[in-house]
Structure 1
Amino acid sequence: MAYYTSRTGAESLTTVDVSPFITKAEYSDSDRLKAAKALVEGLHRLGFVKVKGHGIGKGEVQDALAWTRKLFDLPYADKMKAPHPPEAMPHRGYSGIGKEKVYSQEDVKAQGDNADVAEQLRKVSDFKESYEIGSEEDPVQQNIWIPDPVLSNFRTYMTALYQRLFGISEILLEVISLGLGLVGNEHATLIDLADDRHCQLRLLHYPAVSKDRLQKDLIARLPPHRDWGTFTLLFQDGGGGLELKDPQSEDYIHAEPEEGTFVLNIGDMLQRFTNDYFVSSLHRVSVPGADTAPESGLPARYSIPFFVCPDFSHKIATLPRFITTESPAKYDPVRFDEYGAVVSKYQYQEEES
Structure 2
Amino acid sequence: MAQTFSGSAVPTIDLSVFATESPQQIPHEERLKVGQSLVETLHRFGFIKIIGHGFPKRDITEALAWTKRLFDLPLEEKMKAPHPPGPMPHRGYSSIGKEKVYSQSDVENHKKSGNVGQSLRNVSDFKESYEIGHEQDPVQQNIWLPEDVLPGYRAYMTALYDRLLGVSKTILEAIAIGLSLNADEYTECMKLISDRSCQLRLLHYPEVTKNKLETELLARLPAHNDWGTMTLLFQDDNGGLELKDPHSGVFISAKPEEGALVLNVGDMLQRFTNDYFVSALHQVAVPDPDAVPESGIPPRYSIPFFAVCEFSHTIATLDRFITPENPQKYDPVRFDEYGAKISQYQYQEKDK
TM norm. shorter chain > 0.5: yes
Cα distance in 1 for residues equivalent to 2:112 and 2:318? 35
Q: Report how far residue 237 of structure 1 moved.
A: 0.2
**Counterpart code for 1:33:** L
Cα distance in 2 for residues equivalent to 1:351 and 1:269? 31
The match for 2:273 is 274
Q: Report how far residue 83 of structure 1 moved.
A: 0.3
Sequence identity (%): 62
Q: Which runs of 5+ in 1 are unaligned?
A: 1-6
Is 1:99–1:351's contact at 8 Å kept on the other side of the alignment? no
**Counterpart code for 1:136:** E
The match for 2:13 is 16
- The answer to whether 1:326 aligns with 2:330 is no
Q: Which runs of 5+ in 2 are unaligned?
A: none
Cα distance in 1 for residues equivalent to 2:9 and 2:87? 35
Cα distance in 2 for residues equivalent to 1:10 and 1:123? 35
Structure 1 residue matching 2:118: 3-state secondary structure: helix
The match for 1:248 is 247
Is 2:229–2:268's contact at 8 Å kept on the other side of the alignment? yes
The match for 2:314 is 315
| 1:182-261 paired onto structure 2 within 5 Å | 182-261=181-260
Structure 2 residue matching 1:260: 3-state secondary structure: coil
Aligned length: 346
The match for 2:50 is 51
Q: Report how far residue 317 of structure 1 moved.
A: 0.5
- Deviations 1:95-151 (CA, angstroms, capped at 9, x unpaired): 000000000011111224431011111111100000000000101100000110100
Structure 2 residue matching 1:61: 3-state secondary structure: helix
Is 2:227–2:339's contact at 8 Å kept on the other side of the alignment? yes
| 1:1-353 paired onto structure 2 within 5 Å | 10-23=7-20, 24=23, 27-352=26-351
Q: Report how far residue 12 of structure 1 moved.
A: 2.8
Is 1:11–1:246's contact at 8 Å kept on the other side of the alignment? no
Give the alignment's TM-score, normalised by structure 1: 0.96
**Counterpart code for 1:17:** D
Cα distance in 2 for residues equivalent to 1:330 and 1:305? 29
RMSD, aligned CA? 1.5
Cα distance in 1 for residues equivalent to 2:29 and 2:331? 36
Cα distance in 1 for residues equivalent to 2:239 and 2:213? 17
Q: Report how far residue 352 of structure 1 moved.
A: 5.0
Give the alignment's TM-score, normalised by structure 2: 0.96
